């Protein structure tokens, strides 16, 4: 069976070196200038290694960076919405020579990759913040991370010697090539991806199952990279997903695998990024709900859907599936949205995130119309800890 969707740019990138070449780079790495990567940079590097960020083969050049920031396209015209960059402090600039190599290490001191440094360049943090995050407010977590990083970007291809040594969710970590092969074996031709960094409540379940009516398979792809400190921890979220899939989803039409990316909280631009990357993992469709990848009040409720209008459908190569905010309607006696329900808010079971956290912290189970009891139990236990 020919796979139904090509990787972004046409080729699934693999930057991992093996055999004798790997041994040579390990020897050479010890004598090179080095950089210790933070959690976000490591996840970016590992996704470059596996092809999840195809067509990227390394950290962005100045031409690609500026084109992405200004127009959401790489310099060759291919759609791409977020900068993938590696920063260093200005005072350390002399350590890194253009045309040379730089060893990239994880925070435990392990050699991960070699950066073939093609270029180093300055950039404007406020401009990047405004264009990418639509704000220069340092209270925005993505902007805060941007302001805290170095003033220079290093650009070049990477040769990956060792994959990042994750020790969690090992059974759920699947590279793009692995998921593509799995979908092929299942005979799925139409696969919808679902991005989440929160536990799945009844509204999420409703829109996932609406989408599943139209495709062959559903990929639940929770993000387990760096998130805000007040987000629900990934291990707790995974327990919620497991109990839901065990009891409420068709096992032959649903698959769960973790997404190793870090959250940027870039709202609309991150929705485009999430869609493109899921195409690399083999998805033909991608669910975009309300306030996708949003935070606080920085983005409009449906800005992450409207941004797709700025691209021609063939540019992205994946079909977005847009959903309104869903609630349980007591009058309809089921899940519904403004597109399907004629009743007023007084008939709807809706809880704010703040209210849900307050209930859970007090050991109070939210209404079953909002959350499955099994999920609520896991979250209450986590709040106690």
pLDDT tens digits for 157-178? 999 999 999 999 999 999 999 9
Q: According to the model, what pLDDT value does residue 2 have?
A: 61
Instruction: Supply the pLDDT for residue 169.
Output: 96
Q: What is the pTM of this model?
A: 0.95
Residue pLDDT, tens place only, 190-249: 999 999 888 888 989 999 999 999 999 999 999 999 888 888 899 999 999 999 999 999
Last residue of a domain, one of 130, 160, 190: 160
Catalytic residue (choose from 15, 66, 134, 197): 197
Q: Which pLDDT value is given to residue 358?
A: 84
One domain, residues 289 and 265? yes
How many CB atoms sit inside 10 A of residue 93's CB? 15
11 within some domain = no
Mean pLDDT over 128-139 rounds to: 98
Is the per-residue pLDDT at 385 higher than 80? no
pLDDT at 72: 98
pLDDT classification of 182: cutoffs 50, 70, 90: very high
Catalytic-residue membership of 269:
no
pLDDT of 361 strictly over 60 = yes
2 within domain boundaries = no
- Tell whether the model's pLDDT for residue 299 goes beyond 90: yes
Q: Is 190 a residue of the active site?
A: no
Residue 359 is predicted with a pLDDT of 87
> What's 42's domain CATH number?
3.10.400.10
Last residue of a domain, one of 125, 160, 195: 160
Residue predicted with more confidence, 231 or 62: 62
For the residues 32-37, what does the mean pLDDT come to? 97
The one catalytic residue in 34, 190, 198, 357 is 198
Domain boundary among the residues 136, 160, 184 is at 160
- Domains contained in the chain, number: 2
Whether 10 maps to a domain, the answer reads no
Show Cβ contacts of residue 84 under 8 Å, excluding neighbours closer than 6 positions.
44, 48, 53, 56, 59, 60
Q: How many secondary structure helices (H) and strands (E) does the chain include?
A: 13, 15
Structure tokens belonging to residue 220: 């639940």
Q: Name the residue range of residue 306's domain.
A: 171-384
Q: Exposed, middle or buried, 38 (CB in 10 Å: 0-12/13-18/19+)? A: middle
Domain with residue 286: its CATH number is 3.40.50.620
Q: Are residues 153 and 184 in the same domain?
A: no
């Amino acid at each position: 069976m020919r796979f139904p969707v090509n990787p972004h740019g046409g080729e699934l990138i693999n930057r991992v070196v093996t055999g004798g070449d790997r041994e040579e780079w390990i020897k050479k790495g010890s004598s090179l200038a080095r950089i210790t990567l933070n959690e976000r940079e490591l996840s970016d590097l590992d996704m470059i290694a596996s092809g999840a960020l195809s067509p990227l083969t390394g950290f962005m050049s100045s031409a690609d960076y500026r084109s992405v920031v200004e127009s959401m396209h790489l310099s060759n015209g291919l759609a791409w919405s977020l900068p993938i960059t590696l920063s260093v402090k200005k005072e350390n600039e002399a350590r890194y020579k253009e045309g040379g190599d730089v060893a990239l290490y994880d925070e435990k001191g392990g050699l991960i990759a070699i950066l073939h440094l093609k270029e180093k360049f300055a950039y404007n943090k406020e401009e990047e913040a405004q264009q990418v995050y639509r704000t220069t407010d340092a209270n925005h977590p993505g902007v805060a991370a941007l302001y805290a990083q170095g003033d220079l970007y290093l650009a070049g291809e990477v040769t990956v010697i060792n994959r990042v040594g994750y020790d969690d969710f090992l059974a759920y970590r699947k590279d793009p090539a692995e998921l593509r092969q799995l979908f092929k074996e299942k005979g799925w031709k139409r696969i919808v991806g679902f991005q989440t960094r929160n536990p799945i409540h009844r509204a999420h379940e409703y829109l996932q199952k609406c989408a599943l009516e139209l495709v062959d398979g559903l990929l639940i792809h929770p993000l387990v990279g760096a998130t805000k400190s007040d987000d629900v921890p990934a291990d707790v979220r995974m327990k919620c997903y497991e109990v839901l899939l065990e009891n409420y989803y068709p096992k032959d039409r649903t698959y769960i695998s973790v997404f190793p990316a870090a959250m940027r909280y870039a709202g609309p631009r991150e929705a485009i990024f999430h869609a493109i990357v899921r195409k690399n993992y083999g998805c033909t469709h991608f669910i975009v709900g309300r306030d996708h990848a949003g935070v606080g009040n920085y983005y409009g409720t449906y800005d992450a859907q409207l941004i797709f209008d700025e691209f021609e459908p063939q540019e992205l190569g994946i079909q977005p599936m847009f959903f309104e905010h869903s609630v349980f309607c007591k009058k309809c006696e089921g899940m519904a949205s403004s597109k399907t329900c004629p009743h007023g808010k007084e008939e709807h079971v809706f809880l704010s995130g703040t209210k849900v956290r307050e209930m859970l912290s007090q050991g109070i189970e939210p209404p079953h119309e909002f959350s499955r009891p099994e999920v609520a139990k896991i979250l209450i236990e986590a709040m106690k800890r």
